[in-house]
Every structure is written in C-alpha cells, then in structure tokens.
Amino acid sequence: MSLSFRIVFIQYYIANMNNLPSKYILKILLVQLVLFAACSNSYVNNIDKGAGYKYIPGYPELRVVASGFIEQDNTASINIASEIVEGSLVYKRKNSLYQAEGIIEYQIIDLDNSNNVVSSQQFPVVLTDTSNKLSYSQNTHKVERDFIVTPGNFKIVTTLTDNNTGKQIERTSNVYIPDPDGEVNNITNIKILSKKTLENASYDPVTTYVIQNDFDSLKFVFQITNNRSTDPLTINTRLLKFESDTSIARPMNFNNYGPSSIEYKGIDYSDEIEVNTNRRVLTNQGNVMIEFAFPNLDRGNYRFEVSSGLDTENELYKARDFSIKSKNYPSLRTPKELAKPLYYLMSKNEYEDLMAIEDDTELKKAIDRFWLSNINNSQIAKSVVELYYQRVEEANKQFSNFKEGWKTDRGMMYILFGSPWYVDVTLNRTIWRYSYNSSDPEKNFVFVAPKLKNKFFPFENYLLERSSDYYTVQYQQIEFWRTGLIMKRL
C-alpha cells in the first residue's frame, strides 16, 4: 500500500467519523493501525541498511557485500565482494618475507530450503610483506567471486580463518534474485560501487554502510525485470539526505540531551533533503540494467531509492542506505583528523585555538606540543599518543552509526576509560562496569537507548546518563591522559 493511498484512506474516514457510532470509529482506527503497520513493514523490508564493521578486537576484520544479478543469457549469478583488513591478520616470518595466511569460505544457502547448500567453496588468502608494515595497515585486501545459481532467495555465509592464529570471523548477508522468465516485475537489490580519485581507478563494490569520502564518484546499479506487460514501465529514482546528529559527545557532567533534540533522535528520517531525482521509462520487455553515477557527495547519511509508477498492488520499491564519512575512516591520518578527538582532553579555549589552525604543518606541530608540554618524557608521550588514537580507531569500528564512532557517548567513554571490565545489558539499557563493586557510582556508567535497534531504526544509539557528580572522575581521567599516568593504570 502506497503512502498516498494510506493518507487518502485515513482522511476519508476522519472526515466521516462524526456520522459513525463510537464502536465503529474504534474499529476503523484499529484497522488503520494494522494496515499502516503492514504497509510500513513492507516498505522498510525493502530498504537495505548496509552492513557495519562488526569489529571484534583481536580477530580478523572482514567486510562483505553480496549482490544478485541476471546475465544477458538469463542465467542468475551472485557476486560476493569481500575486504580483509591487512593489519587484522597475524604475520609470521618465512625466509625473507613476513606472511599472513588464511582461508576464506563462501556458503550459499537456499532460504526456501535451508538444508540445501547451493555452493560451498574455499579460497586461500596469502599476504606477504618484506618489512612487516602490513601488520599495522588499515588498508584492505579485496577478494571478489561470482557464483552461478538459479533465481531465488539466498543466505550467504562468508567465513575468514587466520591460519596463523586459528581465529575465525563470520559474516552473513541475504540476496534475492527474481525469475527473469516470470510474469511479475521486480527490482534486484541495489549495488553501490565507488571509484577512487586515483588515475585509472576502477569501480569497486562498497561493503559497508559507511563510505570513505575519497572517491571520484559513486555508482548505483540495479536491474528491472519487466516481463509482465507490453506497456511502458516508469522507474523513478531519488537520492535523499537525512538530518542527523554530527556533534561530539558532550562532557560526562553536562546535562542530558532533550528528547526533541537531534542528538537524542540521532537521525531523523522524516527530515529529508531531495538531492537528486530521475525518471526513466522502459518501453521494452526483458531485463534491464540501470546505472546512476554521482560525483563526490558531502558527508552525511543518505538513501538511494527506486520505485515504479504502478498501481498500489504492484508497486515496486527498493532502497539502499549509506553514509559518507572522512576519506580515511575509520582510521585517522591527516592533522585535522588527529586534532578533532582531542576535544575530550582539552579545555574549550584550547580546543578552539587548535581547530583555528588551518595550515596542516602548523596543526601537526600544535598537536605535538600539546602532548609533549604535558608529558615531559618523549617515549612515554609516544606510547600515550599511540594508545589514544588506537582507542579512537577502535571506537570508530565498534560504535559507528549515523555519526563517527568516536563522537558517540560510548565512543567517548571507551577512549577515556578503555573497555569495560564487564557489561550488563537489558532491553534498552547497558551498564559499563569498571569495578567489581556494582554500587560504586564512579566506576559504573549507565547508557540508555532512546530507540531500540530494529528495521525502522538500524542503529545502536546509547546515550550516557550524565550527572554533575561525574565532574571529578572525568577531570581525574583527563589528567591521567595529559600527564601520561594513564600508562600506569592499564
């Protein structure tokens, strides 16, 4: 059911409620609620939210996206694009080389018959380096494979095993491929590809919700199966940008966020900006591949959606959500990227003075001065700096949502205090404990989720329950970092 039909339906009955008995009004409202829920679920089920990093410290890092398409000869195929973070594997020296070895396995399972494994294949992964620099690299090694299948619903299970440690990580994704000979019109899932700004760069599949802002252009690719009628089929596309929170987490002793603020809401899907619209009319039957390319987009949260001009019952709709973040994300490499997270350690005036420096060379010098002026020992300062930015990057991988992970409340606490000793989780609350004494107010921190993660709101957005009582514990923790004493408290 389309949104316009729902509105007409509701408006009609509201206009005539004065002439109806109250018991019928109640029944009508209940019917409307059921219809709205059913239509909303159908709509949301066709929005691909993209995948997160799903980072587990100490384990291989694997990012995967799977797409189904129909070839020119009407055979169906699944493309599985994987990215392995080079530094997440363990390297061992073999002769003059440092070498990481692993196995990547793909299982394609028929969702209509879960006992039917359509395909199961393994491929070796070998990375070599002469200087062992890859052990620290956040660059990714790309693996891409195509598999011929019959049309249908599939679950793809991708497993990466590090042979040098035996540690294993698994990622799952779903793919639907419509029957190219069927009479029902369909849209395949939307595939996003990015092309780097480098010369002769090719388009590569995007494997996560987050896209680094180092691309020359993004390409959106999908297919239409148009076999139902000889009538023209209109395909409409829209690129939308949503209002979302971009702020850095406020200090622990400040007031909590107000329910009407964007910081509390996180991302507001009802507040959209139409960046681009397009209309294409398909006049021929068959399977049509459609591509749209966009130049560099501003940072923010987006949705690319595809719909048809068919009647309510036969309306086609698919969408893909994504987010544009900094060019090196989740890593930090430029002076500006390194400067921003110092917000948690600086006074307001210090931070404003730092961010006012526009020259990269001078900004880097100012960052170094900040650390060395507080920590007199250069070796200790180096260790503290490495630890701080390691936590920033890990916060990006663990807590990214509509904004950078280091900017979230959990990201702030993770950077300042490290991993909690243990975590208590209830429906919408999570408690980080840094003590075995659960009643110690200075060692236990409560986070509350204004919205639970679900298909309508696919983010874990936990907000710290702030208190003026946290002023002292926050001040002490900042001093540990600024003086280098943090290294004695690990």
Q: List the end-to-end C-alpha distance of the chain, in Å, as a whole number.
A: 56
CB within 8 A of 355, min separation 6: which ones? 339, 340
Alpha-carbon separation of residue 144 from 76, 84, 204, 464 (angstroms): 17, 11, 10, 40
Q: Which helix (H) or strand (E) holds 84?
A: strand 76-85
**Contacts of 16 by beta carbon, 8 Å cutoff, 6+ apart:** none
Q: DSSP letter string over 396-456?
A: HHHH-SSS-GGGSHHHHHHHHH-S-SEEEE-SSEEEEESSS-TT-TTTEEEEE-SS--SSS
Q: Tell me, what DSSP letter sits at residue 60? A: -
Tokens found for residue 296: 């560099």
Give the span between the Cα atoms of 264 and 171, in whole angstroms: 30
> 249: buried, middle or exposed (CB in 10 Å: 19+, 13-18, 0-12)?
buried
Per-residue pLDDT of the chain (490 residues; tens, 9 = 90+): 434 334 333 333 333 444 445 444 454 445 444 444 444 566 788 999 999 999 999 999 999 999 999 988 889 999 999 999 999 999 999 889 999 999 999 999 999 887 889 999 999 999 999 998 999 999 999 999 999 999 999 999 999 999 999 999 999 999 999 988 887 888 999 999 999 887 778 999 999 999 999 999 999 999 998 876 677 889 999 999 999 999 999 999 999 999 999 999 999 999 999 999 999 998 877 889 999 999 889 999 999 999 987 777 778 899 999 999 999 999 999 999 999 999 999 999 999 999 999 999 999 999 999 999 989 899 999 999 999 999 999 999 999 999 999 999 999 999 999 999 999 999 899 999 999 998 898 999 999 999 988 888 999 999 999 999 999 999 999 999 999 999 998 8
Whether the full predicted model's pTM is greater than 0.85, yes or no, is yes
d(CA 417, CA 200): 44
- How far is residue 77's CA from residue 192's CA, in Å, rounded to a whole number? 17
Q: What is the largest CA-CA distance in the chain?
A: 89
**H or E element in which residue 465 lies:** none
DSSP string, 62-81: EEEEEEEEE-TTS-EEEEEE
Q: Which CATH class is domain 47-325?
A: mainly beta
Rounded distance, CA 10 to CA 34, Å? 12
CA separation, residue 376 to residues 153, 346, 479 (Å):
61, 18, 14
